[in-house]
Amino acid sequence: MNKFLKLILLSIAFLQLTHAQTVVNVVDWGILPGKDATLELNELIASLKGQENVIVNFPKGTYQFYPENAFEQYRAVTNHDNSLKRMAFPMFGLNGVTIEGNDSEFIFHGRLCPFIVEGGQNITLKNFSINWEIPFQAELKVIETNKAENSFTAKVTTNHKYKVKGEKIYFQHYNWEDPIGQNTPFDPETKSPIWDSRPYSFNISKAIATDVGNGQIKFKNAMKKLPPVGTVVVNHGPQGTNRLVQAIHLSNTKDTYIENVTIYAAGGMGLIAERCENIHLNAYKITSSEGRMSATRADATHFLGCKGLIKLENCLLEHMLDDGINVHGAYVKVAEYLGDNQFLCEISHWQQWGLIFAEPGDEVTLISRETVLPILKTSVKEIKILNEQKFLLTVNEVPEYMPKGLLSFENITWNPDLEMKNNIIRENRARSVLVTTKGKVTIENNYFSSQMHGILIEGDNNKWYESGGVTDITIKNNVFENIGYGDDTRYPLYISPLLRPEQRLGEDKYHYNINFINNKIKSFNGHLVYAKSVKGLVLKGNEIILDDTYPTGAQKTPLVFDYCENVSLEKNKFSGFSWPITIEKVDSDTNFKLKKNEGVSR
């Protein structure tokens, strides 16, 4: 090819590129700071259908979005409360669209869902923040306690108006009011849930509220123990309506990239994704805004039944009222075998109702609900949704003899890989990481400091019905700092299927191949790992150092192995602990290696 031809080809390529990069300036659609821009934004988003490689450009500013004229659709959103949802960015079936915020603030009002991305591919969200004028959680700062009358007086520190009616307090939101529902006490010193939060749960029925004027409310008989002055009681609102408004919902999408998006509030999770392929979060942040203790009402990120790669890097996830990340599938119950390879199935948890469990071609396993172990692997021939709870599932093979006991199905196809690097998860209620995917998991160079377990590898055919057994997990070079300050029973690494009393461990192990290597654990209790029903567990080169930020001492055994096989503990070093770092082994002697550990009692 001569130079001239090359130049022509390059020019064509450049033209294609510039053609590919259509920029839509939101100002041209009447979207401006200082007014409700929802109707115009809905119209802009609708106009993108059928276009490709479009950048929707928001000049830097503070934009306001209200629910009154917003596009609405009945939506089932897993782990949330299903409802008619109004939305600001209804991104349905779009392809190659970038929302470029240029560091704008998007301020939402009322029950308006910011982003719903349904279907489509190559969606990028970048450089903006999401916040609400009135947050979903009312926060009350304890300013005085009175032991004699078992009361404390608190000040509402969020911008909620309130009323005391019939001895109960009600917080005014955009167009509804919330009584006190679930709640979490935060310690403003640590910016985290308070140490040993158990006695500070609000007793909704017994508590007597009195408006004592001057923006202060007195609560009598509200908690088992009077909270320390300064504690901020964060009110989640009542179950059933406190997960109506997630910030970002991805559903059936492919290739989503989210970069430098900060979420300060949401009436649900920050990001909830279901049945998506490839999601990449870079510098995605959850944190509380000025003057508030808490951020999102629920998890920072949550992935159900995804595939491809889920990648989180450079993220800061803090002050959310639930887990940092949760990656899992769903166990659905078999209600009845109808014959002819057809099963009447039931979605197990009410906050999964409406979930797309599988589609034709997906591989599924039939599972014993007694042992939570697979019976038969097959694939889906047909699926017919009856209602949000029930569906008919026709598979290509069934066991020669259908087992008599209770059965479930698990989707095998939709299990993503997970890569987490250089993230911080801290100062939140609940866990840093929950993961039960059969994909390859790498968790490296992160910092974790959550109120419950650090990394929970569960598999639960019991409560939330989050499947399933893992096969390949590497957790290395992370820092775990004072994991489990909510009570004294938590571990940096906790691995166990969650079993009902009527469920039992089966012949095979539930989890496989978990490597926990070269992590640094700062700990008040010396807990390292609790492992149950694992085959292939390597704990190597971890350093566990006493930290006295919280009261020190251990209620539980620091190293527990129950029904495990092929366990290797090598070169782990416990230092500074004044109590014995013991190992509890139950039925775990098969190929159990213990080598060159320091500070571990034999």
Would you tell me which residues interact with its own copies (CB under 8 A)?
39, 42, 68-72, 74, 82, 84, 86, 344, 386-390
CB of 388 to its own copies, least distance (A): 6
CB of 136 to its own copies, least distance (A): 21
DSSP secondary structure, 2-14, as one string: -HHHHHHHHHHHH
Instruction: Please tell me the distance from the alpha carbon of residue 454 to that of residue 456, in angstroms, as a whole number.
Output: 6
First to last CA, the chain: 73
CB of 112 to its own copies, least distance (A): 11
CB of 31 to its own copies, least distance (A): 15
What is the enclosing helix (H) or strand (E) of 185? strand 182-187
Handedness of CA 458, 461, 462, 463 (dihedral sign): positive
CB of 68 to its own copies, least distance (A): 7
Q: Would you say 29 or 485 has its CB closer to its own copies?
A: 29
Q: Would you say 113 or 286 has its CB closer to its own copies?
A: 113
Q: Would you say 69 or 590 has its CB closer to its own copies?
A: 69
Q: Would you say 144 or 177 has its CB closer to its own copies?
A: 177
Q: Would you say 110 or 497 has its CB closer to its own copies?
A: 110
| Structure-block tokens of residue 479 | 């820092």
Q: Would you say 73 or 601 has its CB closer to its own copies?
A: 73
CB of 305 to its own copies, least distance (A): 21
DSSP secondary structure, 533-591, as one string: SEEEEEEES-EEEE--SS----SS-SEEEES-EEEEEES-EEES-SS---EEEES--TT
How many other CB atoms are found less than 10 A from the CB of residue 338?
A: 12
Nearest Cα neighbor of 114 from 45, 55, 21, 32 is 45
Q: How many helices (H) and strands (E) does the chain have?
A: 2, 53
Instruction: Please tell me the distance from the alpha carbon of residue 34 to that of residue 112, in angstroms, as a whole number.
Output: 17
Placement of tokens 């709870």 in the chain: 389
Q: Would you say 82 or 262 has its CB closer to its own copies?
A: 82
Instruction: Please tell me the distance from the alpha carbon of residue 531 to that of residue 522, in angstroms, as a whole number.
Output: 20
CB of 29 to its own copies, least distance (A): 14
CB of 203 to its own copies, least distance (A): 16
Q: Are 379 and 436 in contact (CB under 8 A)?
A: no
Q: Would you say 342 or 557 has its CB closer to its own copies?
A: 342
CB of 69 to its own copies, least distance (A): 5
Q: Would you say 68 or 589 has its CB closer to its own copies?
A: 68
| Structure-block tokens of residue 366 | 């039939």
Q: Are 72 and 29 in contact (CB under 8 A)?
A: no
Contacts of 566 (CB under 8 A, 6+ apart): 535, 536, 537, 590, 591
Buried/exposed code over 414-444 (b: 16+ C-beta within 10 A; e: otherwise) = bbbbbbbbebbbbbbbbbbbbbbbbbbbbbb
- Strands 316-318 and 424-426 come out as parallel
CB of 32 to its own copies, least distance (A): 16
CB of 386 to its own copies, least distance (A): 5
Q: Would you say 165 or 504 has its CB closer to its own copies?
A: 165
CB of 390 to its own copies, least distance (A): 5
Peptide bond between residue 468 and the one before it cis (omega within 30 degrees of 0): yes
Q: Would you say 155 or 349 has its CB closer to its own copies?
A: 349
Sort 34 into a burial class: Cβ within 10 Å, 0-12 / 13-18 / 19+: exposed
Three-class secondary structure of residue 45 per DSSP: helix
Q: Are 287 and 261 in contact (CB under 8 A)?
A: no
Q: Are 60 and 126 in contact (CB under 8 A)?
A: no
Q: Would you say 175 or 601 has its CB closer to its own copies?
A: 175
